[in-house]
Structure 1
Amino acid sequence: MKSIKSLLVGFTLLLTVVIFAVQTVVGFLFTKTNVDESTLSRLRLQAEMEAARLESQLLVTGAISQTIANDVGVIGPQHSEELLTMTRAHLTSLPLSVGAGFWLEPGVYPEKGKYFGPYIYKDGAEFKQTWEYSTPEYDYFQYDWYKNGINSPGGAVWSEPYVDIVTKIPMLTVSHPIHRGARKIGVSTVDIGLKELHEAVGKIRIGQAGRAFVVTRQGFYLAHPDEQKNLNEKIVDERDTELQQFGKQVVEAKEAGLAHVTMNGMAQYAVYAPIGETGMKLVAAIPVAEVAAPAQRLLWTSLSIFLLAVALFALLMNRLIERRVARPLRLLRDQAEQVAQGDLSMTKSEALSDDEFGQLAHAFATMTANLRSIVSQVLTESKELDESAQHLTESANLVDRAATQLAEAVGELADGAGKQATEITRFRDHVKTSEGHVSEGTAASRLLVQDAHESTVAATQCYDRIQEASQHLQRISQSVDASTSAIRRLHGLSEEIGQNITSITGIAEQTNLLALNAAIEAARAGEHGRGFHIVADEVRKLAEESAKAASQITSLVSQVQQEMAGMVGMMNANVTAIGEQVGLIRYGAEALEQVMGSTRRTENSVRQMQDATEMISRSVDAMNTSIGVIEGIASEFSTLSQQLAGSTEEQAAAAEEMAERCDRLGQSSQSLQEKAKQFRVDV
């Protein structure tokens, strides 16, 4: 079971852990940022200082090169022994230098030929002189260090690193032009050994695991911890895209800079700085983990302090909550369990502090005292309630018996009223049946009157229509006579058309013969009658078409004459039939006049019968009204008796229910007494 103590301690610890964790993380991030910035600033400053130190050594080397050039220009190459002695003295002050010399243009010293380039180099602790470079095989004019020096406007020029083919020593050369007056007569050089440069750069320490190396103008590695890369690989040609981009950034840089880059599979901060005017860049790299180490140590220290503080805080919180919360709650819980078991005999609780828990304990004690008083009253009043319930049950039983007797008497009265109402209803049904028959007779008489009247009206209208039909047939007969005369006239005209068509047919035949003769004459005339022959053919065709059309018209006229003859016969037959119909209509009109007289007499008789049935109907209505009044009185009496019987039954049921409730009330009061006795109220 979870306790409020565990909940409070857990919640407080969780809130404390969250607050301190946020504070620790924010402090760590802030401190880490400051430490990283400080470390990187120190790293950048160190790289710039180391680059400046290397630059100072290289500047001294460049100054020695200029001094040798000035010595040669002033003393002259013919005093080469003195110049070499002076050069040897200069080399002793240059720890990075491995050799020096001066190289003249062709024709400057004719006695010595085209090539004149004495060279002093270190051989262990000694300095030796050689003329191996003053040969056509070496031809020093072809090398960049000579070309750059002779073409320099006046200052020292640094070459790219290379391996000398004579001494097999990797080096880089600083060249300076030799002037005699306004003329350039050669170049003086001082060589820096890459081994010595490597040793000088290797002495640079960047933190614990940091290292430094040099990148040339073209991107070659110099003085790199991995000697296989020196003069063999370019940082700008690395396979790693990130490192390659960093190399381009270093080669193109004009001032010091900082970058985050991965080298040798390790994330590192890399600082680069130009080494004077040599074109080389000093790169100092330190692992990111080493830079972040102080912040990591600070983080672990902060976490240790934080965990110790949380443990101490948890212990203090546990003791505080135990004394101020858990113990008072346990006391209240014990008292509540005592009350739950029915023990109300406690008078006061153990003295607690004056805080909210003390107030709660005092309120609980007051509540227990009030509950003890209530239970005592319940015991007393439940006994009185039980006695009252017994008396009330006896009274309810008496009321129930009286109500039962009253209900029986009212039931007998209701039965008598019901029988009387039944007899009245039966008599009323007979009256209603008679009323129905009278109503049917009245309705039938009304229908007869209406039918008789409608028959009279219909006969009158029929007589009028017969008269109109007779007149109409007479007019039709006159129209048929006129149509017959017109058809006869049309028949005569069609015969005249037939005669004219016969004449047209004869003319067409003669025209056809004339056209045939004309065609024969045109054929005899040859070419002169050719046009007339065409006209004759057209005339012949027209004559044939005219004869054909006349024949068709003759056929149509014959058909028309036949149709007209048939129509004349039909019209004559219609005239005869119309005459017969006129005779029949006149006979029907006479018979209809007799029917009209009979219907008028029938209508008068039916009207008299209708008046008699209406009088009978009014008498039946009056009798029906009287019966309805009697039936209403009987029904009202029956209803009242039924209501009275229902009321007595309800009263009896209520008395019975009251008796049952009194029994249940007695049982409830006894149960209440038993439950109240479960509490101890004796103090």
Structure 2
Amino acid sequence: MKFKRISTKMLVMLLPVIMLFMFLLVTVSYMSSRKIIREEISGKMNAEMTIEARGITSKLGEVSGMAGQIAKAVESTYQSVSLKQYEEYAGKAIYQNGLALGSGIWFEPYKYNPEEKYTGPYIFKNGDKPEVTYDYSNEEYDYFKYDWYENAVRGNGQPVFSELYYDETLDTTMMSCTAPMNVNGAFLGAVTVDIDISEIQNLISSLKVGKNGNAMLLTADGTYITNRNSEKVMTANIGSDENKSLVELSKAILKNGSGSGTMTEDGEKYDIYYTTIDTLGWKLLFRIPQSEVNAPVRELMLKMCILGFAAILATVVIIILLVKSLVREIRKANSFALRLAEGDFSVDAIEIKAEDEIGQLCSSLNTMMYRNKEVITSIADDADSISSVSGTLDDATVTMVTNFEMIEDAIRKIGEDMTNSSAATEEVNASVEEVNAAVLFLSQATNESHRMATDIKDRAAEIEKKSISSFEAATQLAEMHENNLHKSIEDAKIVASVGVMAEAISKIAAQVNLLSLNASIEAARAGEQGKGFAVVAGEIGSLASQTAATVGNIKKTIVSVQEAFNRLTDNSQQLLVFVKETVNPDYQSFVSAANQYGKDAGDIDSTTTRIVEMTSNIETILNEVMAAIQNIAEASQNTVNNSDSIITSVEDASKMAGDISKMVSEEKMIAENLETMVKSYKL
């Protein structure tokens, strides 16, 4: 059977068990209580009957004792004490006992008075004073024939009680206690004490057994001594009573010394408890209605039923309250779990008020929420950071690709300008050779120029070597994608050395132009002899001017290239910082290579400075012009070659930047998807 509510399930499962156990508890308690109460009542009844029986026995014992004392007194003094004295003695004795009506001293014929057959004074109560009569001491009454006297004769020397009898004269139920008088084994006579049992009857009749019970007293043969129906007293016998259940019970009462039984009267059952008064064999009966006996049990049963019902009701209420409390906590936990399942982590933690299994469940749910919330918050923050970095990196990559394109265009222009510069240099070189042939006195300066040219050649070789090294480094960067960009930027710094060389060429051209001007002045001073030299000097000056103009264009181009390289360097530095911190710390080696290039550039600058300082005269200037022209030619060729290398490196770097841009776009898309997924959770 499936239940939709825990309270219904618990009530259906527990309530029948509780009711069954309550029923068994009430039943067992009822049976046990009934048994205990009956045993207690039986014990109480037996105790009460014992007390009453002992009371009756005690009263009768006092009577028999009084009879025995009078008999003993008469036995020892009858020969010396007068009847008058006995009468006084007996009169005092009967007033000392409430049951005694009178006492008689009955002698055997001629024992007290040899002349009298009947000697039997009878002393009885008459108001406050005893009175003596001899009405029973005569032949007419003949006390020798009565049972009470014969009992004394046949007795064993102990006082004997007679059967009850009704005295019509006194209108009283009486009984006599007879104590024999024996002298030296011979029967002397008897002392009787007549007692009125009405006091005993009243005592028994007044006994209240419980609330509605009563007591009865029977003779040994079952005659009623007391009865609620006064007509049955001393006239009816229990064995012939009209109540059949009582007649049936009377057999056990008369046979056994004590016991109990039941009888029915007027439709109501009674419990009968009986015992025997040993002195007389009388039967003392206590009768109590079973309804009264069972009343405490019924009351206990009712109370237990009420308590059981109240306990069941309280159990139901407690179960319902407990289940409501549990369901309330479970619903809170369920609602909390549902909101977490829906992605709502902004829900407040469950307030834990208990330390039981429900409290532990709520604590576990709270812990789960806090840990998942921390994880999701961390993912959200990381997703935002990745998205932001990806956006920045994407912008930097786009800018870098654009700068690479600009660098490539600038380098191509440099190559073209260097080609033009090479042609102009060849023309300048031809002019310088003509000037060198014309100016003999400059031969020594030509040697010096040769030495300087050799130095410049060696430096050019060094530059070539470094260019090859840069090319190899660029090739290595092409093979290793993460190194291409840095090497390309470092190789591009050769443009600065080209600028320095162009500056040197510009200065040399200025010096050549100055020398040409001086030569023209000297030729003018020589007159006709110097005209040819003046023409040559003019051509040299013209070529120097053209060279200066060309070098100026080269410098402008180099400035543009440097500006582009500076922009590239700035953007590349941002990328290098990112790569250095997150991709590969090994890029630090490229910084060292850049420092080395800086030192080389300083050396070149220092060398060119020394060249400028050594051109103090025209000879060195011409040689320097010649060497410079040659250097320009070689540098132009090297610049063209380096430009091709740079273009190749820039193309590789541009391709790598494109790949990076693609990866950044994919990473950005992943970050956006992750951010979208995280946003589905409410924190």
With the shorter chain as reference, the TM-score category is 0.3 to 0.5
The TM-score normalised by the length of structure 2 is: 0.45
